[in-house]
Each structure stands twice: as structure tokens, then as C-alpha cells.
Amino acid sequence: MGIHILKETSTPAQHVWIRVVGFGVLIAAAVFWMGLRGADLRNLGPALTLWIGALAAVGLIVNKRRKFLLTIAGLFLSLGVVETTMLAYEEFVKAPAKKYSYEANVPPGWIADHRLVGYAFRGPVELLATATIGNNVIYEGVPYQIDDRSRRPCAAVQHPTRHALFFGGSFAFGEGLSNDQTLGCQFQKISGGEYESTTYAMMGWGAAQALIELGVDSLFADIKEPSGIAVFAFIDDHIYRTTWKIDTASDFADYPFFSSKENGALEGPFRASDRWTLGLKLGFFGFLRTVSPTFRNLVKPSWFRITSDVQAVITTARVLGAARKLYRARFDGEFIVLLWPRSRLDSLLEDLFVDELANLDVPIILVPALPGDPERAQLHPKDGHPSSEETAWVARALYEEVLTRNY
């Protein structure tokens, strides 16, 4: 029996039609994807990997002798399936992310990168803030008054005798609350006008910003009462905002971080913008996180200066100790760390944090939980930020402690 060698029987004309049909289908698929998904960079990873894999497959059909195209087609089509699966996971399985929007009668740029603190609202301005999680409206059209020093002021007080300065993140800022509902303004109201409050906090800030702000004379030039208190409203996430955090650094190149040596000395502030090699890494990380759902859900680079929660707790306590020294050098008063009733550290870490603060002579106030239904303490069942009721409870507990301790 003879051996018959099968030869390719397609003609050049057939090759042309295969190319025309194959590439036409690819172009049509790309147009269909754009029409279906829009020109969103977050879809680029799945779309591009599938398109390159299909392109290699068409090339393999046209020219079967180029076997490397089989490898390319298989690799990119497999990656495209993974990317598409992760994109579907984000959209249909993963809990939706919180989205913010603001309205203001000012040009774009009311929130801006800020070399000192990473980013800040730019005032004077009144913003109407809205936040949603999926189809749930967390708050809508809430007015934020921001002054020319990026602070949230309270109503004017006729004859205050003391000041109260508030630092921290969104809990101290009063996310979702109007100015008069914030911790600082509720404290001012409860004091009967003895204290005039000013809020230096901002959503996403931590102890690093408090320390840095207290070193800037111009931020306190209009604080007329030389005596008073400063309050840092602490929540558990602040230990990760004080120390190196890859996501924050990639989004805000000037966000400040600190580290600490074994002898207790602080190092910093560190900023990604200060080191071009780190900036390149973060830029590449940010790009991949934007275009690839697989990367942003599964890949977490470990470019940290702080390698454990214990180190983060110790560094945060030392930053707050340094902030207390700056405050007391500027004013006649006391710098207090207030531990919010919710969003507290694990008990062992909290004990360590309290011990570290005590060793640095930083006063601590632990506010008990708001009595009754825990949901009353929250702005919304799907959002853990404090309601105006819990904020008033914390403000009253703070005022009573200040009176008792005679700060």
C-alpha cells in the first residue's frame, strides 16, 4: 500500500477570501465590542487579548506552516477568557464599589493633588455631595462648605474662649453630613459656644496629614484663641494610611507616608513622587490595574515599607506623638486621640496602640458605643460612616471627658 501525502489544495484566491472574511469578522467583532462596552480602558485587557488571539488564529488558518501562531492564538485566547471571566465577576458577582459625585458652581479642579497632604478640596466653595453603591443612594446633595484653607468651618461663635481643632479622615470630616452635623460643629454646639471648632480632616487622610498640617503656620493663622484642644478621630484603617500603601501611592503620588526606626525615630514623609524609579513602578502598576480586571483583582504587589500590622500600629502612634508635640508648641492646650466606638482595631493591636500612645503621653478617649440599634449609628445600612446621631453622641462624650479631665 502506497503512502499518500496530502497537500494543501486551497488556491491563492481562496487564501484571499479567508483573509477578507477572517479579518472582516475581527473588525466587526471589535466594532461590536466597542458598541456594547464603550471605549472604556477598563475593558481593554479582555478585548485586546481576545482580539490578538483571534488574529493569530486567522493567521494560522491562512498559513498552517507557521506553527508559532498556534501558540500565540492559544495563549491570548486563554488569557482573554480569563480576563472576560474576571470582568464578569466584577460586574455580576463582586460587591459594587462606592461612587462619588459632586456639584459646584466652580470650574473643574475643586479637588486637586496637593504636595503637602496628597490631595485636598480646593476652597472656598460649597459642594453638593452624592454617593452611591450600586443602585443604593447613600446620600444625595449634601452640602459641604470648604474654606480657603481646605477646612470645614462651623457657624461663627460670638465670644469663644477656646478653640477645638479636629483632624482625621472621613469620620472626622463628616462624610455625608452637612457642616453643622460634623463632629467639630456638634462639639461646638454642645459646648454652648465656649469652643470654636475647625475641621482639618479629609476623606482618606490619616495621622500623617495631621502631623504635616500642624507644621504649617498659615493653616492656623486665623485661630484667635491661643488655648484649646486638638482631636484626632482614630479608626482602624488609619494605621494603613500612615504607612506605605500601594493603592494610595499609585493614585496620589504626593500622599505622605511614614516609617519608624527601632530606636523610635520617625522617617518620612515618603512620597512616591520623590523617587522616579518608584514612580515608574507605580505608573506601570496603575496602568495594568486600569486595563486588566485579572490584575486589579488578583495581583497585589508587596512594595511596602511596613511589613506588619504591629509595625503599622507603632508607627501611627509615634506619628500622633509627634503631632502632639507640634500642637503643644503652637498652642496652650492638649492633643487628644479619640477612638471611635466603631471601626476599632483588633483587641491585641488596640491594646498595643493604647500602650504606645500612653508611653508617648498622648491622652486617649475611648467612646462607648451608641446605645440601641447598631444601624442607628450608620449613615446607611450599606455604608459604615457615622450618622449625625452617632456623631452627636461622640461629640457629647468627648465634651464630657474634656470637662472631667480639665483639658
pLDDT single digits (tens) 357-398: 999 999 999 999 999 998 999 999 999 999 999 999 999 999
Is residue 114 within 8 Å of 321, Cβ to Cβ? no
Q: Mind listing the domains of the chain with CATH numbers?
A: 12-92 (no CATH), 98-243+306-405 (3.40.50.1110)
Mean pLDDT across 86-93: 88
CA nearest neighbour of 158 among 189, 115, 118, 193: 193
Encode pLDDT of 117-171 as tens digits. Answer: 999 998 899 999 999 998 999 999 999 999 999 999 999 998 999 999 999 999 9
Amino acid, res. 236: D
Please give the distance of CA 337 from its chain centroid, rounded to a whole number.
22
CA separation for the pair 200, 147 (Å, rounded): 10
Q: How confident is the model over 308-362, as pLDDT tens digits?
A: 899 999 999 999 999 999 999 999 999 999 999 999 999 999 999 999 999 999 9
DSSP assignment of 117-141: TEEEE-SSEEEEEEEEETTEEEEEE
Q: What are phi and psi of 258, to 5 degrees?
A: -130, 160
Q: Determine the angle formed by the axes of helices 68-92 and 44-62, rounding to 10 degrees.
A: 150
Segments in 207-274 forming alpha helices (H) = 207-213, 238-242, 246-251
Beta strands in 73-161 (DSSP E): 98-103, 111-114, 118-121, 125-133, 136-146, 152-153
Residue % of the chain over a pLDDT of 70? 88
- C-alpha distances (whole Å) from 372 to each of 28, 138, 328 are 60, 22, 38
CA 168 to chain centre: 14
Compute how many other C-beta atoms are within 10 angstroms of the C-beta atom of residue 371.
Answer: 9
Question: 219-269 pLDDT, tens per residue?
Answer: 999 999 999 999 999 999 999 999 888 778 888 889 999 998 888 889 999
Beta-bridged to residue 287, according to DSSP, are none
Distance CA 256, CA 165 (A): 21
